[in-house]
Amino acid sequence: MACATSILTLPNGAKFCAVDGMKCLYGKTVMMDGTVVCALPGMGYVPGVQFTGLGTGGSGNTGNTGSTGNTGNTGNTGNTGSTGNTGSTGNTGNTGSTGNTGSTGNTGSSTGSSAALPNADAAKSILGYTNTRRASAPNTSPLSWSDDLAKLAQVRANFNLNNSTDGLKLVHGDLCLTPGVNDVSKCATAQIVGQNLAIETGSTVAAAAKNSVDGWYNEKSDWDKTSGDAFLQSAGHYTQLMWKDTKQVGCAIATGRLGGQTLTSTACDYFPHGNVAGEYKKNVPAP
């Protein structure tokens, strides 16, 4: 016997399937106490009469199938909540003011301090004339230009110009590289410069630059008459011009008027200085 649920056994031993809202395979039977059970095969159905057990009576009428209950209404869908308002965008902060652009530093002069000196180009041409003369002597190297020496030479060129308004005068001075030391006797030996001077009238500054070097070199004729081992007053410009241990030169030219003519004062300072006692044979070409 197969029941969808549990099996119910009557006092007379008959077995019925219990009904609990489930479909019976062979219909349903009502017990005297009102219990509704599934009928077993071959069991008659007499409403309200006690069953006498299993019999062969005809099959009871099949009860009417109850009508299908109405399907419950689907609940209404809840309203969708309204979208919250988007918050307003905060105010954009003020852009900071651009800082002031720093001023551009002054551009240094390309030619050094000598560019500020008067007649600087003509004065610097003296370097070329000097090295041409030095090239004529064996083992004598060319000089290099020094702006510091040129500035010092300008002081002396100006001095001689200003003191020659009543006649041509040449006075040596400003022979120390140490600032503020004008007395050469108080200057350290390593700071002393050599010096050549020239002054003339009626020449352009370009001509005066070349004439100065030619005049100094022409003293060679006096030097060649000596033994070549000591200072000679008349050849002092020549020996300094050709001094082998000298490495640098700086020159300056100052111009003015004298008696209606152009006056040109030239000065060149040399370092290390020449005309050192006891070193002439080593530094100056032999006579």
Residue 34 gets the label, from left (phi > 0), alpha (psi -120 to 50) or beta, of: left
**Per-residue pLDDT averaged across 67-93, rounded?**
43
Q: How far is CA 216 from CA 57, 65, 163, in A?
A: 168, 151, 22
Instruction: Determine contact, residues 241/213, Cβ cutoff 8 Å.
Output: yes
Q: Which pLDDT belongs to residue 136?
A: 95
**Per-residue pLDDT averaged across 137-144, rounded?**
96
Pairwise pLDDT comparison (204 vs 82), residue with the higher score? 204
- Write the single-letter amino acid at 46: V
pLDDT of residue 218 exceeding 70, the answer is yes
Locate 36 and state its tokens. 């509704």
Q: Which pLDDT belongs to residue 238?
A: 98
Q: Which pLDDT belongs to residue 180?
A: 86
The residues that bridge with 194 in the sheet, in sequence order, are 270
Instruction: List Cβ neighbours of 164 (8 Å cut-off, separation of 6 or more).
Output: 199, 258, 263, 265
- Write the single-letter amino acid at 113: S
Q: Where does the chain have alpha helices with state H?
A: 120-134, 147-162, 205-217, 220-223, 236-242, 280-283
Q: Which pLDDT belongs to residue 110?
A: 34
- In angstroms, the CA 185 to CA 205 distance is 33
Q: Which pLDDT belongs to residue 79?
A: 47
Q: Which of the residue ranges 14-18, 142-146, 245-249, 258-262 would you say has the lowest mean pLDDT?
A: 14-18
Cβ neighbours of 125 (radius 10 Å):
18
Percent of the chain with pLDDT over 90: 51
- Summary mean pLDDT of the chain: 74
Q: Which pLDDT belongs to residue 164?
A: 83
Q: Distance from first CA to last CA of the chain, Å, rounded?
A: 157
Write down the pTM of the prediction: 0.60
36-71, pLDDT tens digit by residue? 555 554 444 333 333 333 333 333 343 343 344 344
Residue 35 banded pLDDT, cuts 50, 70, 90: low
The residues that bridge with 15 in the sheet, in sequence order, are 9
Residue 27 banded pLDDT, cuts 50, 70, 90: low
